[in-house]
Amino acid sequence: MADVIKFACNSQRFYSSMSTTFSSSLNSCQRVLPPNQGARRRGVVSVSDSVGSSFVSPISYRTRKQFGSFKIHATVTETEQPKWWERYDGPNMIDIHSTQEFLNALSEAGERLVLVEFYGTWCASCRALFPKLCRTLAEHPDILFLKVNFDENKSMCKSLNVKVLPFFHFYRGADGQLESFSCSLAKFQKIKDAIELHNTPRCSIGPPKGIGDVNLGSPSVPKEKLPESSGT
């Protein structure tokens, strides 16, 4: 009988030790619930042993933090940049789109020196020279600068015998056309010399001559190939 009581006591201590160990293990466990569950909940697990004893152990449930994801849609609006021949527009610069506009500009210039550039949008030499030309004209606001696009004014350009681009004409009041020549960036000093020569104080007698005796209304020049681009 003493042996049976001793065995029962040992068995009770064994199961009590197991229960304590199992309870500690359960308390250290954490279960992750879906994000839409509560912030933190506690559950109960019931454990029974073969002897009939039972205990209750709480289990902690911890929800996984939910991180929201979002996308940023950036819309970039591209603004069209002006073409190279459309830049550096100043108050003394005029784009010529027709023969009549050209004649009117010369007539209204009075005693001002008029510098005319005949250019092509495809002309590399015209593009290279254009920024420096505009800076020079900005330094001489008294000079009127007329820009003539060859492709838009082919008949007029052929009547004026423009065969190389860029090409320049200088006009002033009753003196009419003063000078004409082709020029590249490497020989830009030629334009400066012409400005210094012709842009001097003077008084003309009589109306502006414009382009002289060249008849721009009815050009009789046969069809020709596009003018060459001045590379020198």
203 is catalytic: no
Q: Would residue 29 show up in a list of annotated catalytic residues for this protein?
A: no
Name residues whose C-beta falls within 8 Å of residue 38's C-beta, 6 or more positions apart in sequence. 63
* Spatial distance between the Cα atoms of 63 and 226, rounded to a whole number of angstroms: 78
Catalytic residue among 9, 29, 126, 157: 126
C-alpha span between 45 and 41 (Å, rounded): 13
> Active-site residues: which are they?
123, 126
